[in-house]
Amino acid sequence: MKLYNTLTRSVEEIQPLHTPKVTMYTCGPTVYDYPHVGNWFTFIRYDVLVRTLAAVGLQPEWVMNITDVGHLVSDADEGEDKLEKGARREGKSAWDVAKFYGDYFVAGLSRVNISQPTHLPKATDHIQEQIDLVKQLEEKGFTYQISDGVYYDTAKFPRYADFARLDLDEQQAGARVEHNPEKRNATDFALWKFSPQGSQRDMEWDSPWGKGFPGWHLECSAMGMKYLGETMDIHAGGIDHLPVHHTNEIAQSEAVTGKPLSRHWMHTNHITVNGEKISKSLGNGITLEDIEQKGFSLTAFRLHVLESHYRSQSKFSWESLEAASNRLRDYQALADLRFQVVTADRQLTELDYEQYKQDIQAALSDDLNTPEALRIVSLIANERHDSIHHTEYDAFMEFLQYLDDVLGLKLLESSDITDDQKKLIARRQTARDNKDWAASDKIRGELSKQGLSVRDTAHGTIWYRS
């Protein structure tokens, strides 16, 4: 299994520390609002990685955090985090907001068929671990305290700029966010923020340094190391996390342990809608509900995600979602052939499903080349559209199961048509044998109303869902 590693900027073989177990941490959502399609792109891509790891015989232990506190907003209203802001917007407490959107997110995972992570830890459930981490950093001399919080001194970590290959001197020039002038270095970041004086936050905790809340980089280090140990095999996140969040995670984790936080770093690229990044102000934050309201299935959306490579900046549009939806219908028709097995004397050319499976596995194992994997599936859908011969039934079923395991397109979730529908199809066949075209066409109309189309092939009538 090869995967691009941001550490070395090259595609590398994944070699877990304790094969067959492979530990993986992915940066999850901040639960202050509905996730948009871009977020789901990323989460689905994590899922493809997990599924592929499992398919090549590894046993993934997957941690995805839920950030329910601590991210500062970019606006001038300093000291307030997104949860608090969301709470004020909705007239609820920050705790209520976090609960609502956290639950929504977890439910959404199964809606787009993302595997259940081994752990879904929340930042607010790990305050003590985060405080402990700050204490250790303090003992090792990496921290200093100013008026609004305890900060990490990035100058004490010489490798700070290496991971993201930052040019610290140059990039300060155009930074658009104002820094607290008390900070020693522009890149220094808060480990613990104090509650603003005279105001009560919904979310605040006591600490050795005063009442407040953890800085937002802290949770991933604390929870990652708690569940996966000091060095994990894979750490993944959105590409936006590379220069700041992950850079800071490495700084604060490795300063304490002296060991690499992760052996492999994966970054998923962002998508654009109408050529622009997704953002609230542009009003292009499409949600799963929007997709369903337009009549598309979330499985079609999932297929759309797989149609591009995770490292390229892909586009989302309703046109391409429709293309994916049509493509999925073809795949579904392929899967439905398992209900329409023929035992005709005439032998079909048997397909080498094992070979196809290996080809797909090879594509996915090569830095998650999902477009190539789908190319192969389409190849088979084009090849095997007439019938499945009973002699290849087992191999076919095994192949479909493999596809579902690795791509998660729910091809085996469809059920057979009803007995009544089967009788209709049989009656139509009889009518056709008698050249009673009027009766035959009438039955075809009835089936059509039930969402079934029929094709008359050399191997009999094949139905498919329209």
Q: Minimum distance from CB of 183 to RNA (Å)? A: 7
Closest CA to 411 of 300, 290, 310: 300
Q: Does 445 help bind RNA (rule: CB under 7 A)?
A: no
Select from 125-133, 320-328, 407-415, 418-426 the region that touches RNA (CB under 7 A).
320-328
Among 437, 446, 450, 451, binds RNA (CB under 7 A): 437
Enter the DSSP assignment of 78: T
Question: From the centroid of its chain, how far is CA 43?
Answer: 1
- Reduced to 3 states, what is the DSSP secondary structure of residue 196? coil
Q: Minimum distance from CB of 156 to RNA (Å)? A: 15
Do residues 133 and 221 lie in contact, with contact meaning Cβ atoms separated by under 8 Å? yes
Site for RNA in 275-304 (CB under 7 A): 275-279
Q: Does 189 help bind RNA (rule: CB under 7 A)?
A: yes
Q: Does 360 help bind RNA (rule: CB under 7 A)?
A: no
Question: Which CB atom, from 140 or from 165, has the smaller least distance to RNA?
Answer: 165
CA angle 279, 283, 289 (to 5 degrees): 100
Site for RNA in 128-167 (CB under 7 A): 165, 167
Among 8, 128, 317, 418, binds RNA (CB under 7 A): 317
Question: Which CB atom, from 258 or from 283, has the smaller least distance to RNA?
Answer: 283
Tell me the CA distances in angstroms from 434 to 118, 308, 389, 431, 457, one per residue in order: 60, 50, 27, 5, 17
Question: Which CB atom, from 67 or from 113, has the smaller least distance to RNA?
Answer: 67
Q: Does 460 help bind RNA (rule: CB under 7 A)?
A: no
Binding mask 225-244 for RNA (x = CB under 7 A): ------------xxxxx-xx
Q: Minimum distance from CB of 19 to RNA (Å)? A: 27
Q: Minimum distance from CB of 204 to RNA (Å)? A: 19
- 246: amino acid identity, one letter: H
Q: How far is 325 from 301, CA to CA, in rounded Å? A: 8
Q: How far is 249 from 242, CA to CA, in rounded Å? A: 10
Q: Minimum distance from CB of 203 to RNA (Å)? A: 16
Pairing of β 341-342 and β 262-268: unpaired
Among 175, 344, 362, 426, binds RNA (CB under 7 A): 175
Select from 324-332, 344-352, 387-395, 399-407 the region that touches RNA (CB under 7 A).
324-332
Q: Does 188 help bind RNA (rule: CB under 7 A)?
A: yes
Q: Minimum distance from CB of 317 to RNA (Å)? A: 6
Query: Roughly how many angstroms between the first and final C-alpha of the chain, as a whole number?
Result: 38
Q: Does 177 help bind RNA (rule: CB under 7 A)?
A: yes
Site for RNA in 255-274 (CB under 7 A): 268, 270-272
**Mutual orientation of helices 37-55 and 353-365 as an angle, nearest 10°?**
120
Q: How far is 293 from 44, CA to CA, in rounded Å? A: 21
Do residues 377 and 351 lie in contact, with contact meaning Cβ atoms separated by under 8 Å? no
Question: Which CB atom, from 205 or from 318, has the smaller least distance to RNA?
Answer: 318
> Taking the CB of residue 412, how many other CB atoms lie within 10 A of it?
14
Instruction: Identify how many contiguous H helices and E strands the chain contains and give both numbers.
Output: 15, 17
- What is the dihedral sign for C-alpha 205, 209, 215, 221? negative
Select from 114-122, 319-327, 389-397, 402-410 the region that touches RNA (CB under 7 A).
319-327
Q: Does 89 help bind RNA (rule: CB under 7 A)?
A: no
Select from 99-107, 132-140, 202-210, 374-382 the region that touches RNA (CB under 7 A).
374-382
* Burial of 91: CB neighbours in 10 Å, binned 0-12, 13-18, 19+: exposed
Among 308, 332, 361, 387, binds RNA (CB under 7 A): 308
> Could you give the count of Cα atoms lying within 13 Å of 448 in the half-sphere of its Cβ?
7
